[in-house]
Structure 1
């Protein structure tokens, strides 16, 4: 992170990336002196409420972050930035997004946790839009023009006020990762499965294992009265709106998922937390499991990335694909849309066994509407197709000529075809992988 003093002294001329978080209340005009080279600007965590018209001089700017500021309106001037493609205004109390304020090249837009009740019709002009994050707003409907964004792949509209979802949403040709929980249209009286309560006093917390948008996961010892202590993982939810939705929806979906060999086992839900926080007690994942992929980069936008030199033997490709197809079929049989089927939410061990997790974007949907249920499952099938494509792209060269590879490539194409309802369901995918493995 640079300093305002460096900027004002002219010491930052020629830089491509600038990050300032120092309680700014006005946009520093000295930033305009970086217009020839500046590509990434991060002014998150300040007290800004508007941008000057001169901001349009930043003609090489590609990425701009303004999260955790005091904007109440999305700045119209951003629509004049010809190269701007990734924009973040998370938690800014934005109420309105004016027409034509979105840059035409926008492909990644983050407006999570604001007060937006309506999207501009001009959003349909953003033909390159791939990732649209709108969880935690006040949207009551989606503009029909959004259907023009045929490249849209990831959509987060959880925790809004949507009373219905338009039919066109379920025929978007590339949509793969969808989060819709926490809206009136998804409240259909579902009740999560019963789960035993684990008293907070029975848990001896140890080191933090990881932290995500929705909560903190720690190692702990679970000491039930009269029993030997057991090592477990404990996830305590933060209770805030995340980029995916509401923590309580994640918790409900995680419980409703039940047991499966490719799921991390939920052992209980926390009771009597001293701060009344919600949480889950989970089976501790063995240390030999590693994350399969890395979260998308600025460049890849919606697709996971893999370390250089990543290679998967065919046996592992088959094992991972079988496991994820099996657990996905299990979830949809219970009416659960995971919403985040990715390699970065998949753990694998040395034998290729996969464990699937992170229900932050999950939705429990109404299975009494078979047409809608079928469309939701087949949207997620495209996400599986992307994962299978990644696995095959990193297939060990010595396995590339194996007889089952063409069948897997053909399956990948079926999963990713534009016509949503022509894609196979997960049960069919599982059968085809099993057949291919016999070749």
Structure 2
């Protein structure tokens, strides 16, 4: 006695399965359809809606309260709805490459947020409420139209990386000096005319980039940042350097490539003795400063 032969599905069977699948799809809510695109990456629930040509996020998005990382980059968003506050589990919010002119005050309710990318937009200001996102570790507001930051951001004491490059900032915002855990500060291509002595408060800084500004001189207190591994002051109006600069002994060389660690200073109208000494390299400059 033989077993029953397996029955191959007929075309009729396949059509029936197809109809059931389509019917099931129709019963899904819009939020469920979006939810199907959530993926797990390194233990986080991630949704990417990048490069979708959206002028506004879909309303159903705000129902996905389980989301931890949301990528809305490279769209045509002109505003971010206040509903973003519903995504209380967000750790990373990526908004770069849109047309945002502002961020909603409700963004301050994202108390678990650690990373916010809002660069390459049209922001003219940052809401004071962002200071309530006290878990923030990385904040990029580069390539916008900012002139300053609100004092409330002094509360971002866990911030480690801050990028304010390519804005219209005339002085390092006062709140920055309260961000004691900063290791990376990028303020290139703004309208800075000086660096305040308060810079010494950022004792953990390893990378400071202020190239392409209008800085006339470097403050003595800059030399207290002995953890600096990269200091880029290229393309400013610097003529001299502080005598104490030799204390920055983690700047190992004169650097030229933008990504190289070391001191970037050659593209400045340096006075003759300093310029000539630098021909011998960074150590020659340090020896000169110690001797004088």
TM-score (norm 1): 0.44
2:119–2:142: 8 Å Cα contact kept in structure 1? yes
1:78 is displaced (CA, Å) by 1.6
Contact 1:95 1:115 in 2 (8 A): yes
- In the TM superposition, what whole-angstrom CA distance separates every residue of 1:331-360 from its partner, at most 9, and x where no partner exists? 74xxx5667436xxxxxxxxxxxxxxxx9x
Unaligned 5+ segments in structure 2 are 1-47, 242-250, 288-292
Matched, 1:96 2:15: no
Selected match of 2:182 from 129, 137, 142: 129
1:39 is displaced (CA, Å) by 0.5
Q: What does residue 98 of structure 2 align with?
A: 46
Give the secondary-structure state (helix, strand or coil) at the position aligned to 2:102: coil
Deviation at 1:28, TM superposition (A): 2.0
Write out aligned runs for 1:243-322 (5 A): none
Structure of larger gyration radius: 2
SS of the equivalent of 2:151 reads coil
User: 1:341 is matched with which residue?
Assistant: 260
Residue 209 of structure 2, aligned match among 128, 142, 156 = 156
Distance 2:150 2:58 in 1: 34
Residue of structure 2 in register with 1:79 after alignment: 131
Q: Does structure 2 retain, via aligned residues, the 8 Å contact 1:58–1:81?
A: yes
Higher strand share: 1
Q: CA deviation at 1:145?
A: 1.8
What is the distance in 1 between the residues matched to 2:239 and 2:99?
35
1:94-123 CA-to-partner distances (Å, cap 9, x unmatched) read 112232324222110011111100222232
Identify if the C-alpha distance between structure 1 residues 136 and 186 changes in structure 2 by more than 3 Å, giving closer, same or farther: farther
Q: Which residue of 1 aligns with 2:7?
A: none
Matches within 5 A, 1:5-24: 8-10=60-62, 12-21=64-73, 22-24=75-77
Call closer, same or farther: CA 1:368–1:338 in 2, change over 3 Å: farther
Q: CA deviation at 1:10?
A: 4.7
Partners of 1:75 and 1:101 within 8 A in 2: no
Give the drift of 1:7.
Answer: 5.6
> Any residues of structure 2 matched to 1:15-414 within 5 Å, and which?
15-21=67-73, 22-35=75-88, 37-102=89-154, 103-185=156-238, 332=254, 340-341=259-260, 362-364=264-266, 366=270, 368-369=273-274, 377=282
Once the 2 structures are TM-superposed, how far is the Cα of residue 5 of structure 1 from its aligned partner? 5.2
Question: Quick one: distance in 2 between partners of 1:167 and 1:337?
Answer: 24
Tell me the alpha carbon deviations over residues 30-68 of structure 1, each in whole angstroms, 9 at most, x when there is no partner.
322211x21000111122222222211100000001111
- Equivalent-residue separation in structure 1 for 2:63 and 2:87 (angstroms): 11
Give the unaligned 5+ runs of structure 1: 189-327, 343-358, 379-419, 422-439
Distance 1:96 1:75, change over 3 A: same
Contact 2:196 2:219 in 1 (8 A): no
SS in 2 for 1:178: strand
The TM-score normalised by the length of structure 2 is: 0.65
Tell me, what secondary structure is at the counterpart of 1:105? Answer: coil
Q: Does the 8 Å CA contact 1:155/1:179 hold for their aligned counterparts?
A: yes
Distance 1:50 1:173, change over 3 A: same
The answer to whether the 8 A contact 1:38-1:60 is kept is: yes
Deviations 1:233-292 (A, max 9, x none): xxxxxxxxxxxxxxxxxxxxxxxxxxxxxxxxxxxxxxxxxxxxxxxxxxxxxxxxxxxx
Which position in structure 1 is the counterpart of 2:245? Answer: none
